[in-house]
Amino acid sequence: MPYFDSASAAPLHPVARQALQASLDEGWADPARLYREGRRARLLLDAAREAAAEAVGCRADELVFTPSGTHAVHTGIAGVLAGRRRVGDHLVVSAVEHSSVLHSAAAHEARGGSVSEVPVDRSGAVSAAGYADALVPATALACLQSANHEVGTVQPVAEVAEVCGAAGVPLLVDAAQSLAWGPVEAAWSVLAASAHKWGGPPGVGLLAVRKGVRFSPQGPADERESGRSPGFTNLPAIVAAAASLRAVRAEADAEAARLRVLVDRIRRRVVRLVPDVEVVGDADRRLPHLVTFSCLYVDGEALLHELDRAGFSVSSGSSCTSSTLTPSHVLRAMGVLSEGNVRVSLPPGTPAEEVNAFLEVLPGAVAGVRERLGVTEPPAAVPEADSLELDALGLRCPQPVIELARAIARVPVGGTVTVLSDDEVARLDIPAWCAMRGHDYLGESPRPTGTAYTVRRQS
């Protein structure tokens, strides 16, 4: 059964499993104890730290193990913000960071700090100039992911690190999505990552803080992990995490080249096989194993169920697949279509046949969802009026866009359709639809109930 959501979690790497087994026997004791079981545990911990530090590209005493990538990010951001409190309370993040970074930023703001969000282009990439603009004398820390977790776009970390370095601002890099493929080749100050993204077990994150970066751990004191990660050391998982990182790295270049071919195939063929689809994310500067596309007039949750029934596990940034009714903040920041969104992230070892099978199944799955939603090609109608207003209140994604698509032929070229909607997603998907269809998006205006989105027909 093809599982295509390795960006979310991956099955345990065989090497990780082996290491976990062995260290359950050898590494269950407290590494802080003086007796033989403790000394044995300490040796395993030291070896795991050396191995992880080598893979990260830092000194062993710069790296601590945390209970998750999220903890690494939370701790890293809070520690630098507190350590550099005298410099100021300004934090810079990109608009497309992982929620752990954005939630840290929100917590910082709630405590009275200030935050700037660096925007991204339509491919999801920030620019070094964007960071240069955001930095101010009071900036305590800047954060940037190495690559985006939803669309796979690789960020210009080295350039941003240079800009930050010149301003004397430390840069925290969330390397969760890329560390399996190689070290972050940039002058980062703090780095966070998560073992279960590279086939390690859950329960292990990495936090590396370069010597010289002012860092003040927050929360209650604890003597473990240089005072940066409280709680009893999760040694078997740490040993497994370090072993699997080394193992995936040994295979990384060959596997990246192989998966890149498969992802290229999806990128090329999905737009030919499925009508009205937008592949998002940078076509070249991207993770080798990840591709994301959105399908117009499609309910993301229904499509996921359809694919699941056909045996394919993928994820989605569509609003209807989350509990919040808002689409992925990444797609929103990019300004791209969010409806019918599908993220495919191939685990190492994915055979070409599974990708081919997916491409065979996908068109029918999309067509099935569209059929059930009553999506039909708008008939060539005689225009009824120069302007129309549609009441789409109460309708949820993708219905408002479907209504708009149906109505556009009812006005002449140059005429306008206004959609009244109370669905948050319309704000993103109506402009995205206009861009895909070649119509003009004229903007939105608030109404007593909902928002009016106006579109001018261009063809």
Binding-site string for a copy of itself from residue 374 to residue 413, where x marks contact by CB under 8 A and - marks none = ----------------------------------------
Residue among 12, 80, 128, 402 that touches a copy of itself (CB under 8 A): 12
Distance CA 149, CA 256 (A): 16
Active-site entry in 143, 164, 295, 320: 320
Residues 225-284 that bind a copy of itself (CB under 8 A): 230-237
Please report which helix (H) or strand (E) contains residue 279, including its range: strand 277-280
Contact 130, 119 (CB under 8 A): yes
Q: Which of 153, 244, 294, 321 binds a copy of itself (CB under 8 A)?
A: 321
Q: Round to whole Å and give the CA distance between 448 and 452.
A: 10
Distance from C-alpha of 160 to C-alpha of 157, rounded to nearest angstrom: 5
Nearest residue (CB) to a copy of itself, 255 versus 306: 306
CB of 177 to a copy of itself, least distance (A): 13
Q: Tell how far CA 163 is from the center of its chain.
A: 23
Q: Among residues 56, 143, 304, 375, which is the contact residue for a copy of itself, using CB under 8 A?
A: 304
Q: Which of residues 107-126 bind a copy of itself (CB under 8 A)?
A: 107
Q: Kindly state whether residue 295 participates in binding a copy of itself, applying the rule CB under 8 A.
A: no
Taking the least distance from each CB to a copy of itself, the nearer of 68 and 153 is 68
CA distance 213 to 84: 9
Site string for a copy of itself, 156-195 (x = CB under 8 A): --------------------------------------x-
Cβ neighbours around 211 below 10 Å, total: 9
Which residues are bridge partners to 145 per DSSP? Answer: 174
Side chain identity at residue 348, one-letter code: P
Q: Which residue is it, tokens 């703090």?
A: 190
142 binds a copy of itself (CB under 8 A): no
Residue with tokens 């959105």: 294
Using the contact rule CB under 8 A, the part of the chain among 69-77, 134-142, 287-295, 348-356 near a copy of itself is 69-77
Query: Residue 225 Cβ, how far from a copy of itself at the closest point, in Å?
Result: 11
Number of residues that bind a copy of itself (CB under 8 A): 64
Which range touches a copy of itself (CB under 8 A), out of 130-138, 202-210, 282-290, 380-388?
A: 202-210
To a copy of itself, the closest distance from the beta carbon of 66 in angstroms equals 8
With the C-alpha atoms ordered 202, 66, 345, 332, is the resulting torsion angle positive or negative? Answer: positive
Q: How far is the CA of 301 from the CAs of 3, 326, 387, in angstroms? A: 17, 13, 33
Count CB neighbours of 232 within 10 A: 10
The residue among 295, 292, 305 whose CA lies nearest residue 343 is 292
What are the respective helix, strand and coil percentages of the chain, to the nearest 5?
Answer: 40, 20, 40
- Choose between 67 and 88: whose C-beta lies nearer to a copy of itself: 67
Q: How far is residue 327's CA from residue 331's CA, in Å, rounded to a whole number?
A: 7
Contact 183, 87 (CB under 8 A): no
Q: Are 61 and 294 in contact (CB under 8 A)?
A: no
Residue 71: both structure tokens together: 């903890």
Query: Applying CB under 8 A, which of residues 18, 99, 326, 451 lies at the interface with a copy of itself?
Result: 99
Determine the interface stretch with a copy of itself among 10-18, 46-54, 164-172, 262-270 (rule: CB under 8 A). 10-18
Taking the least distance from each CB to a copy of itself, the nearer of 150 and 282 is 150
Q: Does 424 bind a copy of itself (CB under 8 A)?
A: no
Respond yes or no: is residue 397 known to be catalytic: no
Residue (203 or 281) nearer to a copy of itself, CB: 203
Residue in 47, 82, 103, 440 binding a copy of itself, rule: CB under 8 A? 103
The single-letter code of the amino acid at 317 is G
Please state, in angstroms and rounded to a whole number, the distance separating the CA atoms of residues 118 and 91: 11
Q: Are 406 and 384 spatial neighbours (Cβ–Cβ below 8 Å)?
A: no
Q: Which stretch binds a copy of itself (CB under 8 A): 45-53, 56-64, 201-209, 351-359?
A: 201-209
Residue 255 C-beta: closest distance to a copy of itself, Å: 19
Of these, 137, 219, 394, 443, which contacts a copy of itself (CB under 8 A)? 219
Angle of helix 14-26 versus helix 235-273 axis, rounded to 10: 170
- Region binding a copy of itself by CB under 8 A among candidate stretches 33-41, 89-97, 381-389, 439-447: 33-41
Comparison of 238 and 296: residue with beta carbon closer to a copy of itself: 238
**Footprint on this chain of a copy of itself (rule: CB under 8 A):** 1, 3, 5, 8-12, 17, 20, 24-25, 28-30, 33-38, 67-71, 74, 78, 99-100, 103-104, 106-107, 194, 196, 201-203, 205, 219-223, 230-237, 301, 304-305, 307-308, 312-315, 321, 323
